[in-house]
Copies of this chain bind each other. A is one copy, B any other.
Amino acid sequence: MMQSGGVRGAIILGMLVVAGLVATLPMRAQTQPRLNLMPWPSSVETGAGQLRIDESFSILPDIHGYRDPRTSGAIDRFLRQLSHQTGIPMHQFERPISAKATFSFSIQHASKDVDELGEDESYVLQITPGGGSLTAPTILGAMHGLQTLLQLIEVTPDGFAAPAATIRDTPRFPWRGLMIDVSRHFIPIDILKRNIDGMEAVKMNVFHWHLSENQGFRIESKKFPKLHEMGSDAMFYTQDEARDLINYARERGIRVVPEFDMPGHSTAWFVGYPELASGPGPYGIERKWGVFDPAMDPTNEKTYKFLDELIAEMTKLFPDHYFHIGGDEVNGKQWDVNPKIQAFMKSHNLKNNEALQAYFSGRVQKLVTKHGKAVIGWDEVFIPGVPKDIVIQSWRGAASLAQAASQGYQGILSNGYYLDLGWSTARHYAVDPMGGAAANLTPDQQKLILGGESCMWSEYVNAQNIDSRIWPRNAAIAERLWSPQNVTDPTSMYARLHAVSARLELLELTHQKYYRPMLQRIAGSSTPEEFAALRTLTDVVEPVKDYEREKLAPAEPTSTTPLNRIVDAVPLESDAARRFAELVDKYLAAACHDAAMETRLRAQLTLWRDNDVRLEPLAQRSFLVKEVMQPSVDLSALGTTGLAALDFIAKGAGAPDSWKAEQTSAIQQIQKPKAQLLLMPAGAVQRLVDAATKGGSCDVSKVQ
Contacts and interface: CB of A to CB of B under 8 A. Distances in A.
A154 B621 CA distance: 10
Contacts of A513: 513, 516-517
A579 interface: yes
A88 interface: yes
B623 A158 contact: yes
Interface string A19-46: 0000000000000001010000000000
Nearest to A496: B525
Contacts of A186: 92
A85 interface: yes
A671 interface: no
A94 interface: yes
A82 to B, nearest CB: 12
Contacts of A523: 155
A579 B528 contact: yes
Interface in A118-172: 154-159
A218 to B, nearest CB: 13
Contacts of A85: 521
B525 A517 contact: no
Interface string A534-570: 0000000000000000000000000110111000100
Copies of the polypeptide in the assembly: 2
Contacts of A277: none
A159 to B, nearest CB: 6
A524 B623 CA distance: 39
B528 A155 contact: no
Interface residues of A, number: 52
A626 interface: yes
A621 B88 CA distance: 19
Interface stretch (A200-208, A289-297, A499-507, A682-690): A499-507
Nearest to A235: B92
Contact of A154 (B89, B154, B158, B524): B524
Contact of A621 (B94, B157, B559): B157
B87 A562 contact: yes
A516 B525 contact: no
A520 interface: yes
A624 interface: yes
List 7 tightest A-B contacts by C-beta distance, closest first.
A87-B564, A155-B524, A155-B622, A502-B520, A87-B562, A88-B562, A513-B513
Interface of A: 34, 36, 55, 85-89, 92-94, 154-159, 186, 233, 235, 464, 498-499, 502, 505-506, 512-513, 516-518, 520-525, 528, 559-560, 562-564, 568, 575, 579, 620-624, 626
Given A86-B521, A155-B521, A156-B623, 14 more contacts: A85-B521, A86-B562, A86-B564, A87-B521, A87-B562, A89-B562, A92-B233, A157-B622, A499-B525, A502-B517, A502-B520, A506-B517, A512-B516, A513-B516
